[in-house]
């Protein structure tokens, strides 16, 4: 039931705040993270020396974001790998490796086979999944469910923000169990997590219409580029994937620092480029570098659409459009900044008269390898 929305995707984007809230719900107690599903696993978390995250598509990008949080809060090295690539090399995995799989459906064959291979090699497996009782969680040693609710549209939206949320909960939990996380950092992070739904809602309430307008003006665009740095980089990749899958136009995400190593050659007058601008309150250096990237591409005629936090005036002289997001500390920005990109991809596909719920050639759950 679309509940009065024009598409399942529109409904699911509107549920992004709730997907985060429900994934956090019941997992914060007395100011700390409590994940009942992980009871009794402290020894496992204390004994690992490495995490490998395995997933495909949008879930893989959630994993790329999660790497920053797990490394920062739990101080364990994390590799994030496409599940279908993992199995076809000779991965170095053992009993001190924790393999975290991420899958909305829990049925993605590539991810399932990779989890089985990791288990065969002796790794401990933990599944982050949105579907109760699906195959991947059943094959795993531990499960952390996302509570995004059923996702019907082929393009993953609310499950993505719920996956990042679950990874953050896991990172905070493991960080505490390993004694790697300062209580003050845990406290601030929990506050940030709990504040997220209202911030995402703010984007939907205040920017959705403008983003939809923008996407309608851009209905005949043939290529869009997305740039990001740090946690903004996986968001750039996610923005590009969503645009490809929904509107069938060429879209590519780059790490902003990579521009001068090749992609800047693509910039010609009129080329639309989304730039995820990190908060100047996080790292002033990173912020300045991204602003200078914007200047460079603008000087070559790019049409810059900046996704920047409210009050960031540094981008104004160079950006053609600024999509505003509420302030959040750096690790939490991606959960908010991705929302304009979801709205944009949906808007552009709608402007082209395409079916946003069922894009051509794609299935919601990819159960073949
Ligand atoms: O069900 P899963 O999370 O395992 O699915 C993984 C990908 O197939 C999925 O995220 C796909 O990339 C989406 N269509 C992206 O919107």
The model's pTM = 0.97
Residues of the chain with pLDDT below 50 are none
DSSP state of 49: -
Q: ∠57-39-60 over CA atoms, to 5°?
A: 5
Q: Which residue has the tokens 């992070």?
A: 189
Name the residue of 8, 60, 83, 108 whose CB sits within 8 Å of the most ligand 1 atoms, as the mutation to test its pocket.
108
Displacement of CA 242 from its chain's centroid (Å): 11
- Pull the structure tokens for residue 53: 């995250």
- Residue whose C-alpha is closest to residue 247's, from 218, 227, 268, 204: 218
Catalytic residues: 364
Write down the pLDDT at residue 31: 85
Write down the pLDDT at residue 130: 98
140 within ligand 1 shell (Cβ under 6 A): no
Q: Which ligand 1 atom minimizes the distance to the CA of 105?
A: 1
Considering only CA atoms, give the Rg of the chain.
Answer: 20
CA-based end-to-end distance of the chain = 30
pLDDT in tens, 81-125: 999 999 888 999 999 999 999 999 999 999 999 999 999 999 999
CA–CA dist 297, 319 (Å, integer): 10
CA–CA dist 96, 49 (Å, integer): 6
Name the residue of 7, 13, 56 whose CB sits within 8 Å of the most ligand 1 atoms, as the mutation to test its pocket.
56
Q: Which ligand 1 atom minimizes the distance to the CA of 364?
A: 14
Q: What is the ipTM of this complex?
A: 0.99
DSSP state of 266: G
Write down the pLDDT at residue 369: 84
- Exposure string over 307-334, b if 16+ CB within 10 A, otherwise e: bbbeebebbeebbeebbbbbebebbbbb
134 within ligand 1 shell (Cβ under 6 A): no
Write down the pLDDT at residue 185: 96
359 within ligand 1 shell (Cβ under 6 A): no
- Going by C-beta distance under 8 Å and a sequence separation of 6 or more, which residues neighbour residue 12? 151, 152, 153, 157, 158
- Residues 107 and 365 sit within 8 Å (Cβ to Cβ): yes
Dihedral of the alpha carbons of 309, 311, 312, 314, in degrees to the nearest 10 = 160
Q: How far is CA 30 from CA 144, 171, 332, in A?
A: 20, 18, 22
Helix (H, G, I), strand (E, B) or coil at 41: coil
Question: Ligand 1 centroid vs 58 CA: distance in angstroms?
Answer: 5
CA–CA dist 9, 19 (Å, integer): 14
pLDDT in tens, 10-23: 999 999 999 999 99
59 within ligand 1 shell (Cβ under 6 A): yes
Helix (H, G, I), strand (E, B) or coil at 53: strand
């Amino acid at each position: 039931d679309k509940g009065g929305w024009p598409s399942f995707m529109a409904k699911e984007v509107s549920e992004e705040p709730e997907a985060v809230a429900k994934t956090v719900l019941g997992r914060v107690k007395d100011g700390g993270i409590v994940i009942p599903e992980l009871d009794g696993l402290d020894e496992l978390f204390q004994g690992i020396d490495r995490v490998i995250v395995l997933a495909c598509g949008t879930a893989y990008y959630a994993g790329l974001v999660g790497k920053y949080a797990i490394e920062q809060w739990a101080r364990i090295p994390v590799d994030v790998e496409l599940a279908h690539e993992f199995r076809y090399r000779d991965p170095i995995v053992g009993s001190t490796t924790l393999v975290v799989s991420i899958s909305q459906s829990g049925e993605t064959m590539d991810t399932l086979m990779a989890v089985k291979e990791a288990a065969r090699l002796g790794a401990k497996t933990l599944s982050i999944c949105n579907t109760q009782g699906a195959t991947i969680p059943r094959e795993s040693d531990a499960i952390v469910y996302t509570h995004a609710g059923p996702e019907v549209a082929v393009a993953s939206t609310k499950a993505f923000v719920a996956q990042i949320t679950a990874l953050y909960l896991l990172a905070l939990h493991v960080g505490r169990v390993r004694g790697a996380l300062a209580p003050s950092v845990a406290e601030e992070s929990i506050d940030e997590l709990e504040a997220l739904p209202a911030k995402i809602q703010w984007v939907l309430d205040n920017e959705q219409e403008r983003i939809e307008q923008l996407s309608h003006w851009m209905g005949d665009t043939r290529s869009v580029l997305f740039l990001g740095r740090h946690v903004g980089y996986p968001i750039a990749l996610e923005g590009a994937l969503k645009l490809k899958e929904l509107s069938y136009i060429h879209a590519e995400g780059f790490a902003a620092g990579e521009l001068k190593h090749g992609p800047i050659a693509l910039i010609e007058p009129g080329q639309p480029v989304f730039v995820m601008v990190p908060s100047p309150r996080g790292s002033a250096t990173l912020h300045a570098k991204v602003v200078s990237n914007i200047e460079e591409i603008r000087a070559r005629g790019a049409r810059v659409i900046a996704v920047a936090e409210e009050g960031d005036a540094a981008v104004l002289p160079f950006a053609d459009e600024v999509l505003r997001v509420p302030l959040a500390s750096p690790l939490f920005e991606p959960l908010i900044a991705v929302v304009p990109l979801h709205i944009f991809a949906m808007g552009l596909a709608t402007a082209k008269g395409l079916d946003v719920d069922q894009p051509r050639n794609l299935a919601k759950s990819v159960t073949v390898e």
